[in-house]
Structure 1
Amino acid sequence: MTTSRLYKKTLLAVAVSSLTFASQQAAAAGFQLNSQSATGLGRAFAGDAVIADNASVMSRNAAAMTLFDSHQFSGGVNYIKTSIDVKDVNYSPIPGVLPTQNLGSTNNSSGTPVPNIYYIHKVNDRLALGAGIYSNFGTNNEFDSNFGAGTGGAIDSDGDGIPDTPYPDASVFGGTTKIASVNYTLNAAYRLNDQWSIGGGIDIVSGSGELKRDFYANQVNAVDIDVSGTGIGFNLGTVYELDENNRFGFAYHYSPEIEAGGTLKLGGVDTGEKLKLPLPSMAEFSGYHKISDTKFAVHYSLQWIGWSVFDKVETTGGTTIKDYEWKDGYHVAIGGTYYLNDAWTLRAGYMHDTAAQDKLTSISVPDSNRNWFSAGVGYNFNKHHVVDFGFTYLMGEDVNVQETQVPGITQLTATTKANAILAGIQYSYSF
């Protein structure tokens, strides 16, 4: 094989492998955005499919819209500040042939606002209609432009004494990965009787992603992706009210497969195809129980996330880029609410959620099990006006990463840990 052919083959393999990582990120890569409201944020979203303290409940369970006696408006923003540590990075351009290099450690931080807005219209005592805009998935991880620079290598492939077959820098594992999704939902809910309500609606999911990878840092562009697309999903839910202090909710959200089109270049060549991005569906069970003759309520949620739908990455042309073995995930949350008086409400909660990745790991997709520690407060400054504040510290776990971009070469090992701080504010109005 000539030097030119080997170089091109290696470059293409890097491009295809990096494209796979882009798809992981577009499928949230195990980083689900539980950020539909500041109210829910303050209790780690425990009980959010049934509590219904403002219109944001439609993002979790449309059936809960019947729990209101009047029209409802709610809008706010959550700010997510992430910190990703990539520690003890070791890179081998060709394991056993070229020497392993220790790149030390790096930290990637980013801040992202996630807004939301909802409206519920009470048609009558039994029927309610609602519309909302929020986000379920998103991530942002950008390595410094100098990460991995000068760490590649070359060998003498033709025996003339001159190193002439290049291998990529460690920069092919870093680069830029940005994903954003927006969920537009239209819902309806109907009260069957004093205890049962049902609801559902259409979800229009718009997603966009940007991925850039260099073969050599700042020199040869291996992957340049900037794609976007839209898919249609749906949601169904129910609420059962045992009495005025105890109720349960269950909801299912079907997420669509998005065909994302735009710029999709591998090794500088535009493929002309779209990327098929399957998103995970979700099911959630919640309970709420206010203790009689007290000001205290407990609430909880168990959510399943169908990450196993992401078993492979393929294009619309039917080309399978790579097979995957993702696993379904879940989160369990428990919280408490204390109704201090007519003006003030105090909240707290804890959540544990599990990673989607199983055997495959990556420094550009720093996924792990996570623990949420949350607190919040609500202030009712007028009979119809409420402002809620929420705060969460999200703590990830250390993950030992070993990944390759080109089979048999370019091996990288590291330890990753991703933490985040989330803070939000929500305004709600009933009329």
Structure 2
Amino acid sequence: MNKKRLFIRSAVAIAVAASSTSALAAGFQLNAQSATGIGRAFAGDAVIADNAAVMARNPAAMALFGENAFSIGFETVTTMIEVKDAKYCGAVCQQFPEKLQNPVSVDNIDDVGGTSIAPNVHFIHPINEKFAVGINAYSNFGTKTEFASDYHATEYGGLTDVKSFNLGLAGSYRLNEQWSFGAGIDLIYGQGTMKREPNSVIGSIIGSQLPQLAGKPLLDVDGATGFAVGFNVGTVFELDENNRFGFSYRYSPEFEAEDDKGQKITLPLPDIAEFSGYHKIQDTKFAVHYSVQYIGWGAFDQISFDNLQGSVLSGSYDKQYGWQDGWHYSIGGTYYLNNDWTLRAGYMYDTSAQDQITSISVPDSDRQWLSAGLTYHLDQKSSIDFGFTYLMGEEVSVSESTPNPFGGKDLSSITATTQANAILMGLQYSRSF
């Protein structure tokens, strides 16, 4: 490969990888297991066990059910992403260094996000007083962002659409009145689309240097799919019928997806550990619950693109990252109003996965969750749940660049202020029999 080709390929690869992986930070982990959980900011969700969806957070909690339990529902995730005060210095800055002092102002945008729907279904079957088994399907990870095709800094935007589907099989064992244990297997199916286009200036430079690449996208991986296998374990400790604790650990594997052209995307998924508590205040209608969740984003060290073709990039490229582990801290309350209605609310503080590297594509930050929900009991055996969360992200100062692999001035750079908020809503039907 000649130096001219290597220069363009390496510089563009760095920009593409940066915008792609950073897009996975906010919203990469979905809490989409139940509408009940949305209504309490998932506080206590590894041990409350008020419907079958608890098996997605802690398989040991299936031991708390004395009869068959079934839940089915969906969650909508609407992201509201703002990119403002952006300053872009494109390829002309490489040719004329004095232009670095006069970057181009980019219009503020607030329509990068969108709405996604994540369904879920759970079933628990107690075999006897000691053993129970369950099966469920839901999504643990996913995100989607799309910048307009005429966005000036196109190499930092584009389309990123990542979805996952988790099929879980689990079993639980009750050791005695206090201790229960559980374990499960996760079969994960994923799909990813990542597209990036050069802006007119960078596109003309690429075309003049390498005519065979004129009009080609920077990256075009469309509908890549793949499978992976993980597992989860958990335990529940019951002080009495009104007080209990739960702990669970989920191992998430490295995931590889491939599209019809043989192009591959490889990324490691984070392990997750959670501790929850539930306490119903005696002789009242009120209960308090809480959770602390650890998300091992520190394992997300790189994203790999392999066998790239049909675009400016070709071959393989790995981009290193320095993400940090994340934490969720949540607390909530439930009020058992009467035989027909149960009301709940919760608050969560959610820490950012990104550390030193930031991006305009689905910006990440520390976030706060304000949640409320309710259950309407149709009868003693069936109920409908609704949950609502407003998620507030902080403003983040972002700086990205496309460096010259041979040294010297960057090919392009951008600075901006970003903020990402979201609305989560869930609806669910549950029945025991």
Contact 1:11 / 1:222 at 8 angstroms: preserved in 2? no
- What is the 5 A alignment of 1:150-299? 170-216=153-199, 219-226=215-222, 227-262=224-259, 272=262, 274-299=264-289
Alignment equivalent of 2:133, drawn from 129, 150, 158:
129
- Are positions 1:55 and 2:52 aligned together? yes
- Are positions 1:369 and 2:366 aligned together? yes
Secondary structure class of the residue paired with 2:60? helix
Shift of 1:381: 1.3
In 1, Cα distance between the equivalents of 2:98 and 2:130?
72
Shift of 1:7: 6.9
In 2, Cα distance between the equivalents of 1:382 and 1:273?
52
Q: Give the residue type in structure 2 aligned to 1:212.
A: K
Q: Give the residue type in structure 1 aligned to 2:183.
A: G
Secondary structure class of the residue paired with 1:109? coil
Contact 2:221 / 2:263 at 8 angstroms: preserved in 1? no
Q: Which residue of 1 aligns with 2:419?
A: 417
- Are positions 1:100 and 2:103 aligned together? yes
Larger displacement relative to structure 2 (138-147 or 297-306): 138-147
Shift of 1:387: 0.3
Secondary structure class of the residue paired with 2:359? coil
Contact 1:224 / 1:263 at 8 angstroms: preserved in 2? no
Secondary structure class of the residue paired with 2:7? helix
In 2, Cα distance between the equivalents of 1:383 and 1:29?
39
Secondary structure class of the residue paired with 1:363? coil
Deviations 1:239-290 (A, max 9, x none): 00000100000000000111211257xxxxxxx5533210000000000000
In 2, Cα distance between the equivalents of 1:315 and 1:171?
19
Contact 2:19 / 2:157 at 8 angstroms: preserved in 1? no
Secondary structure class of the residue paired with 2:46? coil
Instruction: Give 5+ residue unaligned stretches, structure 2.
Output: 204-214, 308-314, 405-409
Q: Give the residue type in structure 2 aligned to 1:22.
A: S
- What is the 5 A alignment of 1:329-408? 329-407=326-404, 408=410
Q: Give the residue type in structure 2 aligned to 1:105.
A: N
Secondary structure class of the residue paired with 1:404? strand
Alignment equivalent of 1:145, drawn from 142, 149, 156:
149
In 2, Cα distance between the equivalents of 1:70 and 1:204?
26
- What is the 5 A alignment of 1:67-82? 67-82=64-79
Contact 1:127 / 1:191 at 8 angstroms: preserved in 2? yes
Q: Give the residue type in structure 1 aligned to 2:37.
A: G
Q: Give the residue type in structure 2 aligned to 1:71.
A: N
The TM-score, its normalising length taken from structure 1, stands at: 0.88
Q: Give the residue type in structure 2 aligned to 1:359.
A: Q
In 2, Cα distance between the equivalents of 1:374 and 1:6?
54
1:232 to 1:28, Cα distance in 2 relative to 1, 3 A: farther
Q: Give the residue type in structure 1 aligned to 2:109.
A: T
Q: Give the residue type in structure 2 aligned to 1:9.
A: F
In 2, Cα distance between the equivalents of 1:209 and 1:298?
39
Larger displacement relative to structure 2 (332-341 or 214-223): 214-223
Larger displacement relative to structure 2 (421-430 or 16-25): 16-25
In 2, Cα distance between the equivalents of 1:370 and 1:47?
19
In 2, Cα distance between the equivalents of 1:182 and 1:30?
15
In 2, Cα distance between the equivalents of 1:67 and 1:402?
50
In 2, Cα distance between the equivalents of 1:312 and 1:79?
29
Deviations 1:103-160 (A, max 9, x none): 1201123111111000001111111100000111111110011101xxxxxxxxxxxx
1:77 to 1:276, Cα distance in 2 relative to 1, 3 A: same
In 2, Cα distance between the equivalents of 1:393 and 1:30?
14
Q: Give the residue type in structure 2 aligned to 1:178.
A: D
In 2, Cα distance between the equivalents of 1:319 and 1:122?
49
The TM-score, its normalising length taken from structure 2, stands at: 0.88
In 2, Cα distance between the equivalents of 1:359 and 1:263?
35
Q: Give the residue type in structure 1 aligned to 2:137.
A: I
Shift of 1:10: 2.2
Q: Give the residue type in structure 1 aligned to 2:264.
A: K
Shift of 1:24: 4.7
The RMSD of aligned alpha carbons is 2.1
Q: Which residue of 2 aligns with 1:15?
A: 13
In 2, Cα distance between the equivalents of 1:29 and 1:396?
10
Secondary structure class of the residue paired with 2:389? strand
In 2, Cα distance between the equivalents of 1:396 and 1:315?
30
Q: Which residue of 1 aligns with 2:212?
A: none
Q: Give the residue type in structure 1 aligned to 2:363.
A: P
In 2, Cα distance between the equivalents of 1:24 and 1:141?
11
Larger displacement relative to structure 2 (12-21 or 394-403): 12-21
Contact 1:299 / 1:335 at 8 angstroms: preserved in 2? yes
In 2, Cα distance between the equivalents of 1:65 and 1:171?
48
Contact 1:328 / 1:356 at 8 angstroms: preserved in 2? yes
In 1, Cα distance between the equivalents of 2:5 and 2:266?
28
Larger displacement relative to structure 2 (137-146 or 212-221): 212-221
Deviations 1:40-78 (A, max 9, x none): 000000000000000000110000001111000001011
1:90 to 1:316, Cα distance in 2 relative to 1, 3 A: closer
Shift of 1:16: 4.6
Secondary structure class of the residue paired with 2:49? coil
Q: From the two aligned structures, give the one with the greater strand fraction.
A: 1
